[in-house]
Amino acid sequence: MNRLCDFKEEINKCSKCGLCQSVCPVYKITGNECAVSRGKFVMLDGVVKGDLKLNENVNKYLDMCLKCGKCSRFCPSSIDVCNIFETAKYEYAKNTILGKLIFFIESKFVFGNFLKIFKRKSHIKKGQGLKLIYFKGCVNNIFPQKNNILNEIPDIEIIERDFDCCGQPFLSSGNLERFEEVKNKNLSLLDCEFDYILTNCASCESTLKKYIDAKFINLGELLVKKDMKFKFDKPIKVTFHKPCHLENDNFIEPLLKNCENIEYIKMDNYDDCCGFAGEFAIKNSKISNEIAKKKAANIINTKADYVITVCPACIIGLKKGLIGIKNAPKVLSLSEFLAFGKFSK
Ligand code: SF4
Ligand code: SF4
């Protein structure tokens, strides 16, 4: 496991160009230099040199981050921003009472056993064809769908394993030890040949990609690959929110084109963050609400009946932004939405 001082050179790669300010959702709302990666690197450089203590104040700014990775993708120095923030967070949290309490709640004993209550056998037909290891994700375990769309896709073989959480919540809280634990368990379960790891959550997929070197496919991509067609009973207007952790959304337009009676309306800034990001929304509720409200305004402008997305955390964020708005569109996951339509072959 890396220590913050191991990132000394990486932190120094920051040229202070300030380009991250133009993409950081938190900076756009707050205008606070410490909210964006450049400012955080100035502080962490001080910590690594021993000029500054990794104290509550520094931690407050570490928490003022959605871990959306937008700054990383835009950074001319290609700095792995989130990795550095997570390591700094770990070094701070492991020595505080609150940090220790959060790490206990996230432990295998508490969080792991809690998830076990919800794990049940899915009713997925075992077919033959493209071999897919299905990483269902915690939220899809807790809220299983009644009509599992996977049963309708021809020529696929779904392989299920008793995976642990992908680890994203532990990275956010700086619980790197627990992250290592779930990472090792998940890696040990990839014990057979397969064509793709199938996911149904953008955050899970992006986290798994940090430690699994394999081919991934998400449900939307799979439906396009299989040229699946859907028929809805009446005309419906739909808009799409692209989660920050979704690498590629090339599937959404072709998929919706294959849906009879669906009109897709692209919202302005459809890839802007929803403002949720788990504990960020608790620790920075005012900023989170403002980001969510901006998103909600763009959704409302489309006059869509439904807003769909592919990340359970974004669903909460989008719903939060739309609270109190009359006749607001319904927020659904892509798979829940498609389950309304009939498969047409
Ligand atoms: S974009 Fe990268 S190099 Fe430029 S200020 Fe931000 S973190 Fe530093
Ligand atoms: S990860 Fe996102 S919220 Fe955090 S500093 Fe980068 S752009 Fe801002």
In the prediction, which pLDDT does 147 show? 61
SS3 37: helix
235 with 339, same domain: the answer is: yes
Closest by CA to 308, choosing from 225, 247, 251, 231, is 251
Q: How far is CA 39 from the centre of its chain?
A: 24
Residue 248 in any domain: the answer is yes
132 with 196, same domain: the answer is: yes
163 with 80, same domain: the answer is: no
Domain stops at, among 222, 247, 268: 222
Structure tokens at 286: 């005012």
In the prediction, which pLDDT does 114 show? 81
Residue 103 in any domain: the answer is no
**Looking at residues 199-212, what average pLDDT do you find?**
96
Name the residue of 11, 26, 45, 75 whose CB sits within 8 Å of the most ligand 1 atoms, as the mutation to test its pocket.
75
**Amino acid identity, position 158:** I
Residue nearest to atom 6 of ligand 2 (CA): 71
243 with 311, same domain: the answer is: yes
Residue 264 in any domain: the answer is yes
Residue located via tokens 């792991």: 112
Residue 296 in any domain: the answer is yes
Residue 109 in any domain: the answer is no
232 with 206, same domain: the answer is: no
How far away, in angstroms, is 43 Cα from ligand 1 center? 14
How far away, in angstroms, is 184 Cα from ligand 2 center? 27
Per-residue pLDDT band at 186 (split at 50, 70, 90): very high
In this predicted structure, the answer to whether residue 179 has a pLDDT above a threshold of 80 is yes
In the prediction, which pLDDT does 111 show? 85
How far away, in angstroms, is 213 Cα from ligand 1 center? 28
Closest by CA to 25, choosing from 56, 70, 55, 59, is 70
Residue 21 in any domain: the answer is yes
Return the CATH number at 59.
Answer: 1.10.1060.10
Q: Which atom of ligand 1 is nearest to the CA of 19?
A: 1
Burial letters 6-33, b for 16+ CB under 10 A, else e: ebeebbeebeeeebbbebbbbbbbbeee
Return the CATH number at 206.
Answer: 3.40.50
234 with 335, same domain: the answer is: yes
113-138 confidence digits (pLDDT tens): 887 777 666 666 677 889 999 998 88
Name the residue of 71, 80, 271, 279 whose CB sits within 8 Å of the most ligand 2 atoms, as the mutation to test its pocket.
71
Q: What are phi and psi of 255, to 5 degrees?
A: -65, -45
Which residues sit with their C-beta closer than 6 Å to ligand 1?
Answer: 14-20, 37-38, 41, 71, 75-77, 79
217 with 293, same domain: the answer is: no
Residue 106 in any domain: the answer is no
SS3 197: strand
Q: Which ligand is closest in space to the CA of residue 36?
A: 2
In the prediction, which pLDDT does 123 show? 62
**Looking at residues 44-70, what average pLDDT do you find?**
95
242-268 confidence digits (pLDDT tens): 999 999 999 999 999 999 999 999 999
238 with 209, same domain: the answer is: no
CB of residue 65 inside a 6 A radius of ligand 2: yes
The domain total for the chain is: 3
Domain stops at, among 178, 202, 222: 222
Q: Is there a contact between 172 and 67 (Cβ–Cβ < 8 Å)?
A: yes
131 with 72, same domain: the answer is: no
How far away, in angstroms, is 225 Cα from ligand 2 center? 33
In this predicted structure, the answer to whether residue 7 has a pLDDT above a threshold of 80 is yes
In the prediction, which pLDDT does 120 show? 64
pTM of the model: 0.92
Q: Which ligand is closest in space to the CA of residue 20?
A: 1
Residue 61 in any domain: the answer is yes
83 with 191, same domain: the answer is: no
Name the residue of 67, 172, 271, 283 whose CB sits within 8 Å of the most ligand 2 atoms, as the mutation to test its pocket.
67
Report DSSP letters for 250-300, one per residue.
TTHHHHHHTEEEEEE-PPTTTTS--S-TTHHHHHTHHHHHHHHHHHHHHHH
Say which residue, 73 or 343, is predicted with more confidence. Answer: 73
Give all strands (DSSP E) within the chain, no chain letters: 130-135, 156-160, 196-199, 216-218, 229-240, 259-264, 306-309, 330-333, 342-344
CB of residue 34 inside a 6 A radius of ligand 2: no
Cα distance between residue 135 and residue 201, in whole Å:
9
Domain stops at, among 199, 222, 245: 222
Per-residue pLDDT band at 53 (split at 50, 70, 90): very high
Q: Which atom of ligand 2 is nearest to the CA of 23?
A: 7
Q: What are phi and psi of 56, to 5 degrees?
A: -55, -40
**Looking at residues 204-221, what average pLDDT do you find?**
96
Closest by CA to 20, choosing from 52, 66, 57, 54, is 66
Structure tokens at 13: 């790669």
Residue located via tokens 């699946």: 228
Per-residue pLDDT band at 82 (split at 50, 70, 90): very high
Q: Which domain holds residue 207?
A: 118-222
Cα distance between residue 206 and residue 247, in whole Å:
8
